[in-house]
């Protein structure tokens, strides 16, 4: 079984459209045979992902720091739950045995996780597909920011291909299949050089 890591919001107060898209994407992944790795939470889109996997009789593994368990954020229905001591350890384990990353809409934590794995991929340390589910244009500002980074030589235009951005859950499996591996040789063009600014 291949695993996919899902980053997403824990807030229960986000609009219903994000819950609907999260559930649809999760069902598609389970039906395609993916196991799910996620942050272990019980609320928001995290809880929706876990509940959907369990309802579909799929496999889900949660990874959650102890201090979040202390404030009762842990999903009690997920039996395969790993307790760690730090957020750093959580992020490391979330991508240790994965085949891809899916970012659903989320807040600071989701963006932190997403940009860490994007940085690792840029440096040739994470070879797998990364997909953003851009429900109702949620990630449009982030995509615009990435394009500005490339236009002004804060990164290469090639690095716009670190991820695929999709609008509908139905496009997820194809987006995963379309991405080429980024091996260790990717570090060879990770940096913008002086000559790039002159081109």
pLDDT (tens, 9 = 90+) of the chain, 199 residues, equals 899 999 999 999 999 999 999 999 999 999 999 999 999 999 999 999 999 999 999 999 999 999 998 888 999 999 999 999 999 999 999 999 999 999 999 999 999 999 999 999 999 999 999 999 999 999 999 999 999 999 999 999 999 999 999 999 999 999 999 998 888 888 888 788 766 555 5
The pLDDT score that the predictor gives to residue 190 is 78
In Å, how far are 69, 106, 161 from 120, measured between CA atoms? Answer: 28, 20, 14
Residue bearing tokens 């395609």: 32
The answer to whether the CB of 126 falls within 8 A of the CB of 30 is no
Whether 82 and 61 have beta carbons less than 8 Å apart is answered as yes
Domains and CATH numbers, the chain: 3-110+126-139+161-182 (3.40.50.450)
Of 88, 86, 85, 121, residue with least CA distance to 103: 121
The vertex-44 CA angle with 43 and 49, nearest 5°, equals: 90
pLDDT at position 195: 60
Q: What is the pTM of this model?
A: 0.94
- For 117, the token pair is 């794995």
- Three-state DSSP state, 69: helix
Distance CA 64, CA 29 (A): 22
Tell how strand 35-38 and strand 101-103 pair up: unpaired
User: For position 145, what pLDDT does the model report?
Assistant: 98
What tokens appear for 136 in the block? 């109702």
């Amino acid at each position: 079984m291949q695993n996919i890591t899902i980053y997403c919001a824990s807030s229960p107060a986000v609009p219903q459209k994000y819950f609907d898209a999260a559930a649809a994407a999760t069902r598609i992944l389970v039906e395609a045979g993916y196991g799910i790795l996620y942050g272990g939470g019980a609320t928001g889109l995290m809880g929706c992902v876990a509940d959907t996997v369990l309802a579909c009789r799929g496999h889900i593994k949660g990874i959650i720091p102890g201090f979040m368990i202390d404030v009762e954020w842990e999903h009690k229905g997920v039996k395969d739950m790993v307790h760690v001591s730090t957020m750093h350890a959580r992020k490391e384990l979330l991508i240790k045995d994965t085949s891809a990353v899916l970012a659903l809409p989320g807040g600071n934590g989701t963006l932190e996780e997403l940009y860490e794995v994007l940085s690792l991929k840029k440096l040739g340390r994470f070879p797998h597909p990364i997909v953003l589910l851009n429900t109702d244009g949620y990630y449009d500002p982030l995509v615009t920011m990435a394009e500005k980074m490339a236009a002004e030589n804060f990164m290469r235009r090639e690095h716009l291909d670190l991820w695929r951005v999709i609008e509908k859950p139905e496009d997820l499996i194809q987006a995963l299949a379309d991405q080429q591996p980024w091996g260790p040789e990717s570090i060879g063009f990770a940096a913008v050089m002086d000559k790039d600014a002159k081109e």
